[in-house]
């Protein structure tokens, strides 16, 4: 059985899914004329299915002629892919149960007509986006009727906006060893390691700005972090005062995730430019300005009012001085 093609525009023509040797279908295809009073062909019963206002209408008639039995689009948008159907007593030309997909659309209601009866059913897809419909149509004599036409009602699916949600924290201070005669005699403060967390499922690239004794900057794209993952960010700034990471995202992400933009961050802190963030001249690698629409988050656990030890003896490392550790600094070695 073949499938009805997907599209998003109104079709003036007819698109068919045929059975009877022309595709993946099973069944007996190739019947002629009207069958059992179900009205396929030129004597089709009148339509009795409509869609609520504001929803799409895609109507398909079941045709049984010399080219095989099949569903054909006769009205609305050709967005339904009828992938299979079962018939009464195994007769594919007497459809009673449908399996279909609607890529990009959410089908809320289906209305089938057959005999002189209509059957309307609310629709819910399974986990793979596949819908099924088991009709309950009857003939005037009380027998089960086959589907003559079927109308699908629904709306276009809203594209889910992927929103990254990052946080950044001071993790530790890096030190490098200083040796004499191949013996370590001192550990010298070198930089800072931060940890970036992605609290969402959406991967993203990010940049950063860190200010202290050595101001550093990284553009968006310099680092990335997967959804639900964490990423180490190392900086030459060894006495950080401020550290932010920033990333691009849709405006739709701001409210549900309570995100702050760079423009809002500047206003909250009384900054006019990126230079203000750095308390002076920004690094040569930094641009003149950041886009105000970028989302930004600041590390809030950087110890204030003190510095990590500049030097630590070989005997003491990886411990810092008691005063530095009490303030919240820690060596990465520890």
Residue 48, pLDDT score? 62
The per-residue b/e assignment along 102-123, b for 16 or more CB within 10 angstroms, e otherwise, is beebbbbbbbbbbbbbbbeeeb
197: tokens are 């967390």
Residue 1, pLDDT score? 33
Could you tell me if 38 and 145 are in contact, meaning their C-beta atoms sit under 8 angstroms apart?
A: yes
Cis peptide bond prior to 318, omega within 30° of 0: yes
Please give the Cα distance from 277 to 166 (Å, whole number). 20
Nearest Cα to Cα of residue 148 among 122, 110, 117: 117
The three-class DSSP label of residue 212 is coil
Please give the Cα distance from 73 to 16 (Å, whole number). 7
Residue 334, pLDDT score? 95
Backbone angles phi and psi of 68, in degrees to 5: 105, 165
Could you tell me if 244 and 268 are in contact, meaning their C-beta atoms sit under 8 angstroms apart?
A: no
Residue 24, pLDDT score? 27
The three-class DSSP label of residue 261 is strand
Residue 55, pLDDT score? 86
Residue 219, pLDDT score? 96
- The answer to whether the Cα torsion of 293, 294, 295, 299 is positive or negative is negative
Please give the Cα distance from 136 to 5 (Å, whole number). 27
Could you tell me if 208 and 297 are in contact, meaning their C-beta atoms sit under 8 angstroms apart?
A: no
Please give the Cα distance from 50 to 152 (Å, whole number). 9
Residue 80, pLDDT score? 94
Residue 72, pLDDT score? 94
Please give the Cα distance from 98 to 87 (Å, whole number). 9
Could you tell me if 331 and 172 are in contact, meaning their C-beta atoms sit under 8 angstroms apart?
A: yes
Please give the Cα distance from 330 to 315 (Å, whole number). 16
Could you tell me if 233 and 245 are in contact, meaning their C-beta atoms sit under 8 angstroms apart?
A: yes
> What contacts 46, CB < 8 A, 6 or more positions away?
none
Q: Which residues of the chain have pLDDT under 70?
A: 1-48
169: tokens are 């924290």
């Amino acid at each position: 059985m073949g499938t009805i093609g997907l599209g998003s525009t109104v079709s003036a023509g007819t698109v068919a899914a045929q059975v009877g040797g022309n595709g993946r279908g099973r069944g007996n295809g190739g019947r002629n004329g009207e069958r059992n009073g179900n009205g396929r062909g030129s004597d089709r019963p009148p339509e009795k299915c409509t869609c609520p206002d504001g929803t799409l209408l895609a109507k398909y008639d079941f045709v049984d002629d010399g080219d095989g039995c099949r569903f054909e689009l006769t009205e609305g948008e050709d967005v339904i892919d009828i992938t299979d159907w079962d018939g009464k007593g195994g007769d594919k030309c007497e459809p009673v149960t449908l399996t279909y997909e609607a890529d990009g659309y959410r089908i809320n209601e289906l209305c089938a007509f057959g005999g002189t009866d209509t059957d309307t059913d609310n629709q819910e897809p399974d986990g793979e986006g596949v819908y099924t419909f088991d009709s309950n149509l009857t003939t005037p004599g009380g027998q089960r009727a086959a589907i003559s036409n079927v109308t699908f009602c629904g709306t276009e699916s809203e594209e889910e906006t992927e929103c990254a949600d990052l946080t950044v924290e001071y993790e530790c201070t890096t030190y490098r060893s200083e040796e004499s005669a191949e013996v370590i005699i001192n550990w010298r403060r070198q930089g800072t390691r931060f940890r970036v967390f992605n609290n969402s499922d959406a991967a993203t690239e990010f940049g950063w700005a860190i200010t202290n004794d050595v101001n550093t900057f990284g553009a968006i794209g310099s680092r990335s972090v997967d959804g639900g993952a964490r990423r180490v960010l190392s900086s030459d700034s060894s006495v950080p005062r401020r550290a932010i990471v920033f990333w691009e995202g849709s405006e739709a992400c701001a409210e549900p995730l309570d995100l702050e933009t760079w423009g809002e961050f500047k206003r909250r802190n009384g900054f006019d430019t990126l230079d203000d963030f750095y308390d002076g001249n920004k690094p040569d690698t930094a641009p003149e300005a950041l886009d105000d629409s970028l989302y930004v988050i600041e590390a809030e656990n950087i110890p204030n009012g003190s510095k990590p030890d500049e030097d630590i003896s070989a005997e003491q490392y990886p411990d810092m001085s008691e005063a530095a550790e009490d303030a919240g600094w820690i060596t990465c070695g520890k």
